[in-house]
Chains A and B, each alone.
Chain A
Amino acid sequence: MTEVNAPHPGPLRSSGEREKSGGALLANLMHFGRTLRAAGLPVGPGKVIDAVAAVEAVGITDRRDFYWTLHAVFVNRPDQRLIFDQAFHVFWRNPDLLKKMMGLVLPELRVEEAEDEAAAMVRRLAEALHPDPPEAPQNEESEVEIDAAMTFSDREQLRGMDFEKMSLEELARAKAAIARLRLPVEDLPTRRWAPDRHGPRADMRATLRAALRSGGLIELKRKRRRVRPPPLVVLCDISGSMSRYSRIFLHFMHTVTNDRDRVHTFVFGTRLTNITRYLRHRDVDLALERVGEAVLDWSGGTRIGHCVAEFNRLWSRRMLGQGAIVLLITDGLDRDAGAGLAHEMDRLHRSCRRLIWLNPLLRYEGFEPRSLGMKAMLPYVDEFRPVHNLESLEALIAVLSAPPARRGIAGSAWQEHGGRAA
């Protein structure tokens, strides 16, 4: 490391200097922290104090070290790296600023100017990083957009979506309905234990403790494995052919997201969008409004294969790791005529514990899986749940809660269905 421009060879040593510089440094780092927070990074006052300590530990002699020091403190996730990088270069662009900090003179550090700069910065960052939605999420999604833009932009219909507000009665009914939701694989055993008088295992620790308390005969205490619901991933088709159900599905996804933990929700038409974060809003109207703004391919075409491939590549390993159930909601009408779909469905099927396909298209008896998309998908689903006249969330939940079929016989279920009608 070269000790350039460092008039005081022993930086941050004398206590008087340290306080003085610490104050100015704090002010600057505070502004920087605020800028980052405005750009969406979770930066609180504690982080700023950490940053000061970190900068003191490394010393300010090298711009790269300074960068990586702040990086280690402020960045928490890979997708924040880009924001941090831009913010850093804009905020600390002023070489005088850095030089002054190196010299540790730092009298009044043009606080107002810094503030203006920070404010301008916020706008720039906001504009640069979040083109239209106010809270655009991560890298992956911008990739998705680029990807889609290059392939389908001419035919893709981009539009937002307005949803009718939910009535109080609807909300109450939804809550009651979701309480009845029983997915085919409900609870999975965990490796944790809970005391249970009739449990299968002896709980030695509880036994010994009780024995010491009571004396005399040692009474055996027992325990059983705790169970918990597996993670749930919902992939919901929002293309034109499905648009009349969008509201019900989103309502369902919102309710289920807020009802249990480890739920991830995606919608797809011509592109795949992760809407988990928007749906975490407790208020259903607000959540749906956000989703309506963030998702750009409402009521357009469907590219199921492309979107499932996207999910497999970017998300599956992160979301299907702990034995997740995948709920795929689509009518199987695919613009790409099932191209590449079988392969991707196979992969999806292999990576999750159970793949449930809910198909709302089936509006008349005797419907057959004629479309190529459906034919490609059917061999790979564990549960096939067709639903006629999907009118309400209750109906949807009733369909999902029907007792499970054996794994891998979804196709024959359809044949039976068709056969009976014919």
Chain B
Amino acid sequence: MVAASSTAKNSLPASVDATLGLLGSQNYVADRSLATAVHLALHLRRPLFLEGEAGVGKTEIAKVLSGGLGRRLIRLQCYEGLDVASAVYEWDYARQMIEIRLAEAGEEDRGEIETTIFSDRFLIKRPLLQALEPDITGAPVLLIDEIDRTDEPFEAYLLELLSDFQVTIPEIGTIRAGEPPIVVITSNRTREIHDALKRRCFYYWVDYPNAARELEILKRKAPGASERLSQQVVGFVQRLRQMDLFKLPGIAETIDWTEALMQLDVLELTPHAINDTLGVLLKYQDDIARIQGSEAARLLEQVKAEAAAAQ
């Protein structure tokens, strides 16, 4: 395992601190706990299993790792009924047919046709197979996004792939990764993933950030916003998250909202501005109806009072 490739290993961060630095260099403000999990996944070459509410930055981690390590990012978006043909490989039937016709015209040997048409040339590689291929920049980052959307059979298939990093194509044989890819699996937890799969991974629950970290994220992701606006936005969102809403706003929503407010030249939150843009933050009509108006004004008062007290 250690000898597999020393060149690629060099570019991996050597410690938890280095991992934290790597994430930071890509503008990802991570908790130390997350950095520990990432570090473990990179070092022990196990998949990283990230679970959490929508919009807390799970997918972003894969992108950041790909950017920070200079690796290729291969993304497999999951959906129900995802099968081998769209996740691993498929034969190019149209070209195969033409090849057969041509070969018949040329009176080629049948055994020869068979080896020709089931060769690499006619193979359409889908994300999982692509991820096993060697790459000059090192093993790619394989993002298996929203795995909770697939069904159990595919999960079972992944189990096999993720433990051996090999794929068997009956017509060709077994394709094995020289160096296993860096695998990041995300789940919104719309259903429970089987323990057998999780057991092979390092697990991390990505939570909503606290106010300080959210402010830091906002500074990096929406640098144009004034300090005052950012603080108010974060204060408001943090308060919303303590409420009993159907869907709490994630970090993605915080960033979007800030950008929307900036587009509207809002320098400071007002009840009016909030009401106009609440749809960016909350995505369910009941939630919007509940917050809009007096509740928003009340929360804003609290945020402002808190800011005044802090000064």
Contacts and interface: CB of A to CB of B under 8 A. Distances in A.
* Chains A and B belong together in one complex: yes
Contact of B191 (A72, A215, A322): A322
B58 interface: no
B151 A68 contact: no
B232 to A, nearest CB: 28
Given A78-B189, A204-B93, A318-B190, A68 B32 contact: yes
B206 to A, nearest CB: 10
Given A78-B189, A318-B189, A190 B17 contact: no
A65 B100 contact: no
Contacts of B133: none
B110 A215 contact: yes
A81 B36 CA distance: 16
A129 interface: no
* Residue of A62, A218, A317 with most chain B CB atoms under a 10 A cut-off: A317
Given A212-B110, A212-B113, A321 B36 contact: no
A64 interface: yes
A321 B187 CA distance: 13
Interface string B106-123: 000010011001000000
B295 to A, nearest CB: 17
Given A1-B16, A190-B80, A208-B117, A57 B39 contact: yes
B145 interface: no
A69 B16 CA distance: 10
Interface string A51-88: 00110011100101101110111011110010000000
A205 B93 CA distance: 7
- The SS class assigned to the B binding surface is helix
B205 A81 contact: yes
Interface in A298-323: 312-313, 317-319, 321-322
A318 B193 CA distance: 11
Contacts of B152: 261
B33 interface: yes
Contact of B96 (A59, A190, A208, A347): A208
Contact of A208 (B41, B83, B93, B190): B93
A215 B104 CA distance: 10
Contacts of B189: 78, 318
A16 interface: no
B44 interface: yes
Contacts of B244: 313
A191 B80 CA distance: 7
B191 A321 contact: yes
B265 interface: no
Nearest to A207: B93
A313 B82 contact: no
Interface string A276-304: 00000000000000000000000000000
Interface string B1-36: 000000000000001110000000000000011001
A42 interface: yes
A47 interface: yes
Interface string A40-55: 0010001100100110
Contacts of A75: 203, 205
Contacts of A68: 32-33, 36-37
Interface stretch (B177-185, B194-202, B222-230, B254-262): B194-202
B81 interface: yes
Contacts of B204: 71-72
Contacts of B39: 57-58
B40 interface: yes
A106 interface: no
A296 to B, nearest CB: 23
A313 B246 contact: yes
A13 interface: no
Contacts of A77: 51, 192, 198, 203
4 tightest Cβ-Cβ pairs between the two chains A and B? A191-B81, A68-B36, A204-B93, A72-B202
9 contacts: A50-B44, A65-B36, A69-B36, A73-B40, A73-B202, A191-B82, A318-B191, A321-B190, A321-B191
